[in-house]
Amino acid sequence: MTLLASLADIVGQKNVLTGEELAPYLTDWRNMATGKAQCAVRPGSTAEVSGVVKVCAAAGVPVVTQSGNTSLVGGATPDDKGNAVILLMSRLNKIRALDADNATITVDAGMILQNLQAAARDAGFLFPLSLAAEGSCMIGGNLATNAGGTQVLRYGNMRDLTLGLEVVCADGEIWDGLRGLRKDNTGYDLRDLFIGSEGTLGIITAATLKLFPQPAAKCTAMLALSSVENAVAVLRRARKAFDTALTGYELMAGVCLDMVHQCFPQQKIPFADKPAWYALLEISDAEGEEHARAMFEAMLGESFEAGEIDDAVIAENLTQSKDLWHLRESITLAQAQAVKSIKHDISVPVSNMVSFIEKTDAELQEKFPGLLNMTFGHLGDGNLHYNVGSSERFSGDDLMKNYDAIYNLVHDNAHAHQGSISAEHGIGAFKIDELPRYKQARELDLMKRIKAAFDPLNILNPGKVLR
């Protein structure tokens, strides 16, 4: 029996995609890489995932797991060898259990993040992970990349939000670790190895996740700032004033929101004058609207008096709050539409942020005059999408010709500032050659040993994270 026939026996013929049906799954979201594959399969259960992996393992065929295909580093795209099977998670999209007393929800890995958020909200809870791609990204992909998003400052990354996993291992056997325990000190933490491993150690098929109370009130403000130094000062003040009520603090260069307005004119910038920098500040309060607003206005008043803020707009209702967040969430789409760009997902300690941005901006402009700096990101947790783009003075061709030099300069500076070259996007295929430049040899050796132990045939997403 052929491989395709064996797969059809497991998932059904209509769930084995070839030819034109396969094409949409061969190219990454950014159109930066296109690979080849024998087929894509759509299993409908963990048992079917297990069956697919067992057949592929027996044949020595690679398995590339793909969720919403929103990876920004080519993490879910097959290579060009053409022998891989793409495992699509879209049919594994059910809620398995919601435990109100334990404040947990157990879901299949193919559930779209936005649907999980809605299910939690309908049950009176909050699932706090929030991303620009939440309408299409899936929980399995969020787990595979240890996704962060806009509320890491309060709730943490996916690793912090996860209690248990169900995983299909490289030999097709199933590990059932769906435990809703906040304390379980019984040996090595396998859960944390699989989270962030980008599908190279096992295939996550379900997860038990933490839920939180819905806040009684939220306050959101867009701030106009003259410098990153002032943005850091406002963050310092907000942390002291709000403590765990501080749920979001986003930094955006002025050019980013200018680009949003140019591409999407219906989205209005809330200030007459264009500042050098914007910050989006949000708190979630357990007591109520009046308490939240008083606390919010007191802190902003202190920042004004200290000269840290040039102007501010406070959302008066949910619609205005959504509009402010929509400006932030539209930056990636605007950049993709307006210019060619090189994306960076770096993190540095907040204490080093001013130095990193000033030094890197200056060096880039010195070596590549006219390059467009398009920095934005989650300043509250030290994660910047330090993107650079083409301009009238620095063409898209110039950008691509200098791709490696720009990439290395930004990453070298992040590393020199005690930072990381990947905060939440992962390594995937695009950064695989960068990793040895910044990881200690001992770290890489340990990672390779773990990979060899979990996937001795190297069939799980080969060519990602490690060579």
Tens digits of per-residue pLDDT, 41-54? 999 999 999 999 99
pLDDT tens readout for residues 196-228 = 999 999 999 999 999 999 999 999 999 999 999
Helix, strand and coil percent figures for the chain, each rounded to 5: 40, 20, 40
CATH of 339-424, one of 3.90.45.10, 2.130.10.10, 3.90.1150.10, 3.30.70.2740: 3.30.70.2740
288 versus 94: the higher-pLDDT residue is 94
pLDDT tens readout for residues 395-441 = 999 999 999 999 999 999 999 999 999 999 999 999 999 999 999 99
CA separation for the pair 174, 196 (Å, rounded): 19
Is 190 a residue whose pLDDT tops 90?
yes
Domain 217-332 has CATH 3.30.70.2190: yes
CA separation for the pair 186, 48 (Å, rounded): 30
Q: Which pLDDT score, from 0 to 100, does residue 158 have?
A: 97
DSSP assignment of 30-70: TS--B---SEEE--SSHHHHHHHHHHHHHHT--EEEESS--
pLDDT tens readout for residues 331-349 = 999 999 999 999 999 999 9
141-142-147 Cα angle (round to 5): 135
Q: Which pLDDT score, from 0 to 100, does residue 132 have?
A: 83
The residue-averaged pLDDT of 37-41 equals 97
Structure tokens at 171: 């030999």
CA separation for the pair 376, 249 (Å, rounded): 11
For residue 118, name the pLDDT band (cuts at 50, 70, 90): very high
Domain-wise residue ranges, the chain = 3-88, 95-213, 217-332, 339-424
Mention every residue, 6+ apart, whose C-beta is less than 8 A from residue 187.
Answer: none
CATH of domain 3-88: 3.30.43.10
- Exposure string over 259-293, b if 16+ CB within 10 A, otherwise e: bbbebeeeeebbbeeebebbbbbbbbbeeeeeebb
8 A C-beta contact, residue 423 and residue 147: no
Domain 3-88 matches domain 217-332 at the CATH topology level: no
For residue 93, name the pLDDT band (cuts at 50, 70, 90): very high
Sheet hosting strand 16-17, strand order edge to edge: 16-17, 39-41, 85-88, 63-66
pLDDT tens readout for residues 97-110 = 999 999 999 999 99
Q: Which pLDDT score, from 0 to 100, does residue 87 have?
A: 98
Computed over every residue of the chain, the mean pLDDT equals 95
pLDDT tens readout for residues 312-331 = 999 998 899 999 999 999 99
The residue-averaged pLDDT of 359-365 equals 97
For residue 74, name the pLDDT band (cuts at 50, 70, 90): confident
Q: Which pLDDT score, from 0 to 100, does residue 246 have?
A: 96
Q: Which pLDDT score, from 0 to 100, does residue 104 have?
A: 98
Structure tokens at 253: 């260069």
Q: Which range is least confidently modeled, 28-32, 135-139, 174-178?
A: 28-32
CA separation for the pair 271, 273 (Å, rounded): 5
Mention every residue, 6+ apart, whose C-beta is less than 8 A from residue 414.
Answer: 344, 346, 347, 348, 356, 386, 420, 421
Q: Which pLDDT score, from 0 to 100, does residue 371 have?
A: 95
For the question of whether the overall pTM of this predicted structure is more than 0.75, the answer is yes
Any idea which residue has 């009176």 for tokens?
Answer: 124
414-415-417 Cα angle (round to 5): 65
Q: Which pLDDT score, from 0 to 100, does residue 133 have?
A: 87
Short-list 150, 222, 142, CA closest to 379: 150
For residue 131, name the pLDDT band (cuts at 50, 70, 90): confident
**Under CATH, to which class is 95-213 assigned?**
alpha beta
pLDDT tens readout for residues 141-170 = 999 999 998 899 899 999 999 999 999 999
* Chain CA centroid to CA 354, Å: 23
Is 1 a residue whose pLDDT tops 80?
no
